[in-house]
Structure 1
Amino acid sequence: MRVAVAGATGRIGSRTVARLRDHGVEVVPVSRHHGVDVITRDGLDEALRGAEVLVDVTDAPARTEEAGLQFFRTATTNLLTAAVAAGVEHHVVLSTVGANWLWSDYFRAKLIQEDMVRNSPVPHSIVRATPFFESIEVMVKKNTYYDRVHVAPVLARPVSTDDVAVAVAHVAVGLPLFGILEVAGPDVRHLDDLAAEVLTARGDERLVVPDPQARYFGAELRERTLLPGADARLGHMSFTEWLAQPVVHTQG
């Protein structure tokens, strides 16, 4: 099996490539580092030639309306066009749990990406992940006001990037779902408690303030917006275990 992975050098992409190779799959990395650009289409047709499966784990360079909408529309259009021309039999795309409820520019762009994939002639699978562990730390930085961090006290089930990559690779080597698989972490926690745990682990003395009006990357949150459905695939690594690991700065 030959699988092309768009976004192959990113946080999820690099792990997905490794997991696919564990399955004995021939992987074609698709990234600017490998001479392929999903925005300009440079090298894209050649990269997908002979590929049976296309995995899209790309992400926008910034979570703003202009960056998100422009990136996902352009990249997904180019990937789908190249996939059809190459005769790709299965298109796997990574999205976000709650994309249809998180009304912000970035998540609206992800929903548009999902719709484009559903409406294409290429058989598809959509993998929706709950917030990555790393995104909790990024949220803490974005929601800081002086010496306080405002976080909505809602439920969340964050997941490790390794567990997401395992799920994406598993879907890629299987038959198209023509639907959605949700992936989540093993533990249900309150988002403000997760933020406080990050600060404690990093030796940061800032105070976490439970704030129902606090945004999550621009989106308003309800109590269960970040939770998957009952049939979600659950990962193995807990948030506490992840925090205990040495901090590694990864591209993506």
Structure 2
Amino acid sequence: MRVVVAGATGLIGSRTVDRLRDHGVEVVRVSRHEGVDVTTGKGLDEAMRGADVVVDVTDTPSRGELESLEFFGAATRNLLEAAAQAGAEHHVILSIVGTGRLQAGYFRAKALQEEQVRRSPMPYSIVRTTPFFESVEYMSRAATYGDAVHVAPVLIQPVSADDVAAEIAHVAVGLPLFGAMEVAGPEEHYLDDLTAKLLAARGYLWDVVPDAHTPFFGAMLGQRALLPRADAHLGHETFAQWLARR
């Protein structure tokens, strides 16, 4: 089996490449570092030759709605066209829990990406995940005002990037889902409390201010909007374990 991974050098992509190799499949890495640009299509046809499965874990450099819509619109269209031309039989994308319920900001862009994949004749699988532990610090920096970080006091069930990559690889080597599955961590946390613990562990002195009016990736949240479905696949690593390992 030959699996093409788009976004192969990113947080999830690099780990997915390793997990796929654990399954014994041939992996082709696609990224700008490899001379391939998914937004323009440069280098895609050559990278896709002989592909059986395409895994799209690309992400936009900006979480703004317009930038995200433009990125995912172009990248998904190019990847689907190149995959079909190569004769691939399974297209896997990474999405985010809350897509479909939240129709603003980054979530709107992911919803439109999912719709592109659903409309394609290519057999597909959608893997939606809750926020990564690794992304909590990034999110806090986006809402820093002076020495304070404003964070919505909402419930999340964060997951480690390693657990996400393992699930994506498992889906990629299996049969297409023709739908979406969800992946989450084993514990619920309040986002503001989790942010405070992470920043304290990193030695930052910022105050964390619970603020229900702070958007998350451009969307205003209800308290349970980011929680997964009851049938979500749960990762193994807790926040304490992840923090200790890092």
Instruction: Please confirm whether the aligned pair reaches a TM-score higher than 0.5, indicating the same fold.
Output: yes
Task: Give how far 1:243 is off.
Answer: 2.1
Q: Which amino acid aligns with 1:113?
A: Q
Aligned-residue offset at 1:15: 0.4
User: What residue in structure 2 maps to residue 223 of structure 1?
Assistant: 223
2:146 matched to which residue of 1? 146
| Matched letter for residue 79 of structure 1 | L
Q: Contact conserved, 2:4 with 2:53, CA < 8 A, in 1?
A: yes
Partner of 2:186: 186
The yes-or-no answer on 1:238 pairing with 2:209 is: no
Which residue identity is paired with 2:233? R
CA distance in 2, matches of 1:241, 1:103: 33
Q: 1:32-87: per-residue Cα shift (whole Å, max 9, x none)? A: 21122112212211111111100000001111123211110001010011111111
Whole-Å separation in 1 of the counterparts to 2:192 and 2:62: 24
Query: Which whole-Å deviations, capped at 9, do the CAs of 1:127-153 have from their partners, x for residues lacking one?
Result: 000001122111111122222222111
- Name the TM-score, length of structure 1 as normaliser: 0.94
- Unaligned stretches of 5+ in structure 2? none
Q: Which residue of 2 aligns with 1:249?
A: none
**Which residue of structure 1 aligns with residue 93 of structure 2?**
93
Structure 2 counterpart SS, 1:182: strand
The Cα of 1:217 is off from its aligned counterpart by 2.1
Aligned Cα root-mean-square deviation (Å)? 1.1
The 10-residue stretch of structure 1 (62-71 or 88-97) with the greater mean CA deviation from structure 2 = 62-71
Q: Deviations over 1:158-217 (max 9, x none)?
A: 111100000000000000000111000111111111011112101222221222112112
Q: Matched residue of 2:237: which SS?
A: coil
Q: Which letter maps to 2:217?
A: F
1:66 aligned to 2:66? yes
1:8 is displaced (CA, Å) by 0.7
Relative to structure 2, which stretch is displaced further, 19-28 or 194-203? 194-203
Contact 1:103/1:220 (8 A) holds in 2 = no
Farther off after superposition, 175-184 or 140-149? 140-149
Tell me by how many angstroms 1:23 deviates: 0.2
Map 1:21-170 onto structure 2 (within 5 A): 21-170=21-170
Q: CA deviation at 1:103?
A: 3.3
**TM-score, structure 2 length as denominator?**
0.97
Moved more, 133-142 or 101-110: 101-110
Secondary structure of 1:37's aligned partner: coil
Q: In the alignment, is the contact (CA less than 8 A) between 2:5 and 2:56 conserved in 1?
A: yes
Deviation at 1:121, TM superposition (A): 0.5
Partner of 1:198: 198
For 2:207 and 2:64, how far apart are their aligned partners in 1? Answer: 27
State the AA in 1 paired with 2:181: L
Distance in 2, matches of 1:10 and 1:94, equals 12
Aligned to 2:245, the other structure's residue is in SS state coil
The alpha carbon displacement at 1:7 in A equals 0.5
- Cα offset, 1:115, TM superposition: 0.2
Which residues of structure 1 form unaligned runs of 5+?
247-252
SS in 2 for 1:244: helix
Could you tell me how far 1:26 is from its partner in structure 2? 0.3
Q: Which stretches of structure 1, 4 residues or longer, exceed 6 Å deviation after superposition?
A: none
